[in-house]
Amino acid sequence: MPSKRHSSFYLAAAAGIVVALVTALLTPAQALLWGSCTFFALYLTLGLSRFARADADFLRRNAVEEDAPPWALVIVTIAVIVASLASLFQMVALNDAGPLQLAATVMSVPLGWLTVHAMAAHHYAYEYYAGASGDAGGKGGLDFPLKSAPDGVAFLYFAYVIGMTAQVADVNVSSRTMQKLVLLHGIFSFFFNTVILAAAVNVVVSF
């Protein structure tokens, strides 16, 4: 299973930028929508599918390569919030929108949600197996109720539980670095879910 540093992220980002620029020339108001949907869909297809099949040995050897750049987490998080809110409120004005535009508007929210927490899962794996120094010696920080070392599915489970509930379940956090990451992840998840739910209700009431 070969790996190139951040390849999934950069390829998806490049495709999203190209689509956004092309769309901006045709219909500027939809550039963010189509660019973000392209990035979300491609990142999930390339990164999530491979990560879900990764075993502990692969993650231990390739933790640095599988993780997205730290600055990317911030940018994508902001982009997801903006794209999701813009898409929801744009639905109110889409009385004459075609089925393709309407589908992209609806799908941008769950795609963005899936992408943020998939990137979080990658980062948890990086911190667990490599740490900020990049030394793939197994730093730990999460205690999984498993008989073997955690694989990609274990980190996806951990990240998406936080994404859905803004709290951890049966995985104990045992390092200060992981505590900070989980705290930020939980705060984001709570406010994102709350704001998106409120916005969705507002959109439904508007129809």
Is residue 1 predicted with pLDDT exceeding 90? no
Residues 6+ apart with CB under 8 A from 56: 148, 149, 150, 151
Q: Where exactly are the structural domains of the chain?
A: 55-206
Mean pLDDT in residue range 45-58: 88
Pick the more confident residue, 33 or 133: 33
Helices 152-165/176-206 angle, 10° precision: 50
Pick the more confident residue, 166 or 78: 166
Mean pLDDT in residue range 110-114: 89
Closest of 96, 112, 133 to residue 195, by C-alpha: 112
Mean pLDDT, the chain, as a whole number?
82
**Quick one: pLDDT band at residue 42, thresholds 50, 70, 90?**
very high
Is residue 166 predicted with pLDDT exceeding 70? yes
Q: CA–CA separation, 98 vs 82, rounded Å?
A: 22
Percentage of the chain lying above the pLDDT 70 cut: 79
pLDDT of residue 40: 92
**Quick one: pLDDT band at residue 3, thresholds 50, 70, 90?**
very low
pLDDT of residue 136: 46
DSSP letter assigned to residue 171: -
pLDDT of residue 9: 83
- pLDDT per residue as tens digits for the range 93-105: 656 566 777 777 7
